[in-house]
Amino acid sequence: VQLQASGGGLVQAGGSLRLSCAASGGTFSRYAVGWFRQAPGKEREFIAGFSRTGGYSYYADSVKGRFTISRDNAKNTVFLQMNSLKPEDTAVYYCAADSRIILSSLRDYQQYDYWGQGTLVTVSS
């Protein structure tokens, strides 16, 4: 499966952005999907994700209540709505997918086989 992430940009603190991750070459609804981000000099971190069953969404504590992950299976696309953005949210955001990942590994970026190219989000203070 190929992933294409988009929607990043420059926004002021308190603003919103919506990221999209479009999949091709596979049935997205059968994959676990995660959004990750990586700031300069930092390790890639889990932000939000769906398990393979897709029944529940999971969030990092740092974004809970501000970010929402959703999916449109008809369009084979997963979204990340980001509200109340803070300067510390500045990073390159990646979407990832995997057809075999188990729930306990959902937050582990090393378990994902497929990655989008990343989209830069910059939040100014």
Q: Among residues of the chain, what percentage have pLDDT more than 90?
A: 84
How many CA atoms lie less than 13 Å away from 105 in the CB half-sphere?
A: 14
Q: Compute the CA torsion angle 119, 92, 81, 63 (nearest 10 deg).
A: 170
Question: Over the stretch 45-58, which tens digit does the pLDDT of each residue have?
Answer: 999 999 887 678 99
Q: Residue 33: its pLDDT value, please? A: 94
Q: How confident is the model at residue 28 (pLDDT cuts 50, 70, 90)?
A: confident
CA-to-CA distance for 73 and 52, rounded, in angstroms? 13
pLDDT of residue 91: 98
Instruction: For 49-102, write each residue's pLDDT tens digit.
Output: 998 876 789 999 999 999 999 999 899 999 999 999 999 999 999 999 999 998
Q: Are strands 91-98 and 32-38 parallel, antiparallel or unpaired?
A: antiparallel
